[in-house]
Amino acid sequence: MLTMCIFLLACKKEKDAEHTFQSCNLKNNNLKVLSNQHGRLSYTNKLGSSQLAEYSYYIIASGQLPLKVCNMPSSIMLSQNEEKNVSFSGKMIEVPSTADAISTTIELSDLNFD
């Protein structure tokens, strides 16, 4: 019986608690929908070699500028400079390739720790 319980626990993929995502009211016409993406969530005040004025939540995902989260649920909290692998979905402001930007904004609709 104990062996079966251990097996079931080992095979179960834990689903994170449901989170409430508030709207950021993004007013940009260049919104891009991202679905089932993977990245690294961090609570930081530094992007690359750039020091930022305050700590914010950012997702670093392949092929994207760093994504500043505008609607992080209060149910998720990281310590300063802590990082976690995540899967996520949401709407991001698409920045033209000619723009000089170190990040863009994302309004999350889903976030889970990997």
Instruction: Report yes or no on 14 lying in a domain.
Output: no
Q: Check residue 17 and give its pLDDT.
A: 54
Residue 81 lies in a domain: yes
- pLDDT surpasses 70 at 109: yes
- Please report whether residue 91 resides in a domain: yes
pTM for this entry:
0.82
The CATH number assigned to the domain holding 63 equals 2.40.50
* Domain contains 31: yes
Residue 67 lies in a domain: yes
Domain, as residue range, for 108 = 21-113
Structure tokens at 89: 């979905």
How many domains does one find in the chain?
1
- Examine the pLDDT at 10 and tell me if it is beyond 70: no
pLDDT for the residue numbered 8 = 38
> Does residue 7 lie in a domain region?
no
Mean pLDDT score of the chain:
87
List the beta strands (DSSP E) in the chain: 31-47, 50-60, 67-69, 83-93, 104-113
* Mean pLDDT of all residues in 24-30: 87
- Asked if the structure places residue 37 within a domain, the reply is yes
Nearest to 46 by CA among 61, 63, 70, 66: 66
